[in-house]
Chains A and B, each alone.
Chain A
Amino acid sequence: MSTDEPTTPSTPSPPADDAGDDVSGAPAADGVETPTAKLVLDGVAKAYGDLQVLKGFDLVVAEHDVVCLIGPSGCGKSTVLRCVDLLDPIDAGRILLDGVDVTERGTDANAVRRRLGIVFQSFNLFPHLSVLDNVTLGPRRAQKVSRGEAEERARELLSRFGLADKAEDYPNKLSGGQNQRAAIVRALMTEPEVLLLDEVTSALDPELVGEVLGVIRDLAEGGMTMILATHEMGFARDVASTVCFLDGGRVLEAGPPERILAEPTEARTQRFLTRVIEAGRL
């Protein structure tokens, strides 16, 4: 049940050979991004305290792209997603959504977040709310959708993801896989233009991983633009239009999965993949 040929691969900005100098991420003044780019990260830098996680991070995501971020723990995969969703402010660089810099001062961050959806590794459903209330909270409160309308859409999505009979349950009654599918429904409720998935299967028991990956595969086939931070290399090979190997706070190497995962050019990518294969994950 492998995917059809993924949609047109994007052209991520090459791991700039001369980028070493402007790590500071002064906004590039040339403005040569492809006009069709849905999302562009341009020289994004982010530090947590003394820890410089992203150093001039560049990424271009076209509409309907499925971009998989891979790399060792701590390479900044989750940070990229948190920064894109404006959950953590970036220190330098720009993030463009439909060509508009959303990191500029005065941007309505809530409005931007409503256009994006994010799913976290540990689900983060609200424990005091039923599944139905969890997934309708965003539309009802942030988008002022009526309860009836929100619940109708919620039930439709929940049943599409096999959770129709769980709508009234509380998250602690659900399995990890069901929790994560509910979290995906919650992210989809706001009809996001880009879906960000942060290692969504890492906290799941192995036998539950498949059900969540199946959901993501469906979304990919439906044309959803997605960025996934993932350790599931086999899955990345199946669904990704682009795989980015992250190292040293930037994209070291990017390209179609069959190339990056099979014949990477960078030595560090090779070493990483060798370890992954040894661990039986590819």
Chain B
Amino acid sequence: MTTSRRLRSTRLGDEGAASSLVAVVSTVIVFGVIIVAVLRSPNWPAVRDQFFNGDDFGESAPTVLRGFWLNVRIFVVAMVIIPVLSMAVAIVRSLRGPAFFPIRLLAIIYIDMLRGVPAILLVTLLGFGVPALQIPGLPNSGLFWGTTALVLIYVAYTAEIYRSGIEAVPESQRSSARALGLTQLQALRFAILPQAIRNVIPALMNLVVALQKDVALVSVLGIRDAVHEADIYKARTFNYTGFIVATLLFLAISVPLTRFVDWYAARDRSRRAQTAV
């Protein structure tokens, strides 16, 4: 059994070497063609000057980087609040029994509304609208309300992912938890959620990657994040290189994050394949 598996994996290994050679060659060809096409386009020199200017890169980098630090902070704050709030919404959404209907309905309305509005609209509406109300006791900063808008949207998406995980746990698990005399909430907490969360971790991590990029939306509020700093630089110098700086900064975080998500999902899949045997 083990020997045959080893034999097969060796054979697969050879095939793997051959196919990775094919992959490298075709990648070089495809990217080569694209690069040549761009470099030989009639307006390339002007575009290079506008977007990939070394001097402008150095000049815009410090302010864009400072702006990016704000993006990172927004991201971190949101990442602390979203898991907790969305879990609460998902639990409410999953409660059974007529007594819970009103709050269940509220959760459904919340999720439907927040997922239905384009993020940039909600950021704009809350970020400009609520401070304009000048309600005493409420924060007046666009940063606060822009972040709140992002949190509200991502709570809705995250709650739906949690819920899909909860519903994927077999009904029999709920029955046997209830049969022990556990209350609905105890059954969720000790029997259902641990299984549900494990099921949806890859999906949750995809949302993390998406949020990491969406924090740039606060720039529409005039908040000096990476994108807005690049925009300011452009307005001053008529040069777009600052946007390239911002792009590289976002990529520097999101690409490793994405690779990590894929790696984790693959590892989780193979572990499950093992336990299923």
Q: Which residues of A approach B to under 8 Å, CB–CB?
A: 82, 85, 87, 110-111, 113-114, 116-118, 120, 122, 124-129, 137-138, 141-143, 172, 183, 186-187, 190
> A85–B186 Cα gap in the complex (Å)?
18
B172 to chain A, nearest CB (A): 5
Complex contact B173–A126 (CB within 8 A): yes
Contacting residue for A120 out of B175, B182, B195, B198, CB 8 A: B175
Which residues of chain B are near A137, meaning CB under 8 Å?
Answer: 177, 180, 182, 190-191
Which residues of chain A are near B191, meaning CB under 8 Å?
Answer: 126, 137
Which residues of chain A are near B173, meaning CB under 8 Å?
Answer: 124, 126
> A124–B172 Cα gap in the complex (Å)?
6
Q: B194 in the interface, Cβ–Cβ < 8 Å? A: yes
User: Considering only CB atoms, which chain A residue lies closest to B184 in the complex?
Assistant: A110
B118 to chain A, nearest CB (A): 38
A129 to chain B, nearest CB (A): 8
Known: A113-B180, A113-B181. A87 touches B195 (CB 8 A): no
A165 to chain B, nearest CB (A): 20
Q: B183 in the interface, Cβ–Cβ < 8 Å? A: yes
Which residues of chain A are near B177, meaning CB under 8 Å?
Answer: 126, 137
> A110–B187 Cα gap in the complex (Å)?
11
B132 to chain A, nearest CB (A): 49
Complex contact B195–A110 (CB within 8 A): no
A173 to chain B, nearest CB (A): 9
A207 to chain B, nearest CB (A): 20
Q: B270 in the interface, Cβ–Cβ < 8 Å? A: no
Known: A128-B194, A137-B190, A142-B186. A87 touches B178 (CB 8 A): yes
Complex contact A124–B176 (CB within 8 A): yes
| B side interface size, CB within 8 A | 18
Complex contact A172–B275 (CB within 8 A): yes
B173, B175, B180, B195 pick with most chain A CB within 10 angstroms: B180
> A15–B178 Cα gap in the complex (Å)?
32
Q: B179 in the interface, Cβ–Cβ < 8 Å? A: yes
> A142–B183 Cα gap in the complex (Å)?
8
Which residues of chain B are near A120, meaning CB under 8 Å?
Answer: 172, 175-176
User: Considering only CB atoms, which chain B residue lies closest to A113 in the complex?
Assistant: B181
Could you list 27 A-B pairs, sorted by A, with CB under 8 Å? A82-B175, A110-B181, A110-B182, A113-B178, A113-B179, A113-B181, A114-B181, A117-B179, A120-B175, A120-B176, A124-B173, A124-B175, A126-B176, A126-B177, A126-B195, A127-B195, A128-B195, A128-B198, A137-B190, A138-B180, A138-B181, A138-B182, A141-B186, A141-B190, A142-B180, A143-B181, A183-B176
A11 to chain B, nearest CB (A): 28
> A143–B183 Cα gap in the complex (Å)?
11
A-contact bits for B164-179, CB 8 A (1 contact / 0 none): 0000000011011111
Complex contact B181–A111 (CB within 8 A): yes
Which residues of chain A are near B178, meaning CB under 8 Å?
Answer: 87, 110, 113
A-contact bits for B193-230, CB 8 A (1 contact / 0 none): 01100100000000000000000000000000000000
Which residues of chain B are near A82, meaning CB under 8 Å?
Answer: 175
> A117–B182 Cα gap in the complex (Å)?
13
Which residues of chain B are near A187, meaning CB under 8 Å?
Answer: 179
Which residues of chain B are near A129, meaning CB under 8 Å?
Answer: 194
A110-B181, A126-B173 known; 20 new pairs, CB 8 Å cut-off, are A82-B175, A85-B179, A111-B181, A113-B178, A113-B179, A113-B181, A116-B179, A120-B172, A124-B172, A124-B175, A126-B176, A126-B177, A128-B194, A128-B195, A138-B181, A141-B186, A142-B181, A186-B180, A190-B180, A190-B181
Which residues of chain B are near A172, meaning CB under 8 Å?
Answer: 275
A269 to chain B, nearest CB (A): 30
Complex contact A142–B176 (CB within 8 A): no
Which residues of chain B are near A183, meaning CB under 8 Å?
Answer: 176
B179 to chain A, nearest CB (A): 5
Which residues of chain A are near B179, meaning CB under 8 Å?
Answer: 85, 87, 113, 116-118, 187
Which residues of chain B are near A190, meaning CB under 8 Å?
Answer: 180-181
> A183–B180 Cα gap in the complex (Å)?
11
Which 9 A-B residue pairs are closest in the complex by CB-CB distance?
A138-B180, A114-B181, A142-B181, A124-B176, A113-B181, A128-B194, A118-B179, A124-B172, A110-B181
> A133–B185 Cα gap in the complex (Å)?
18
User: Considering only CB atoms, which chain B residue lies closest to A82 in the complex?
Assistant: B175
A120 to chain B, nearest CB (A): 6
Which residues of chain B are near A141, meaning CB under 8 Å?
Answer: 180, 182, 186, 190
B173, B176, B178, B275 pick with most chain A CB within 10 angstroms: B176
